[in-house]
Amino acid sequence: MARKARGRDLMEQARELLSKAKTAEELRQAQAVVMPLEFGLSIEQTVRAIGVSTCWACKLRNRFIREVGIPIPREDKPLRGGRRRENMSLKEEEAFLAPFLDKAKEGELIVVSEIKNALDQRLGCNVALASAYNLLHRHDWRKFALDKRHLKSNVDEQEDWEKTARPYCRNRESMGERRADPADVYG
Question: Do 13 and 55 fall within a single domain?
Answer: yes
Amino acid found at 79 = L
pLDDT of 113: 92
Count of alpha carbons within 13 angstroms of residue 139, beta-carbon side: 18
Residue 38's domain comprises 8-66
For 173, which DSSP code? G
pTM over 0.95: no
Contact present, 135 and 119 (Cβ < 8 Å)? yes
For residue 5, give the nearest of 46, 51, 52, 49 by alpha carbon.
Answer: 46
In tens, the pLDDT along 23-80 reads 888 889 888 888 988 888 888 999 999 999 999 998 888 888 887 655 555 555 555 6
Query: What SS3 state is found at 34?
Result: helix
| Residue 111 bridge partners (DSSP) | 145
In a domain, 147, yes or no: no
The domain spanning residue 25 has which CATH number? 1.10.10
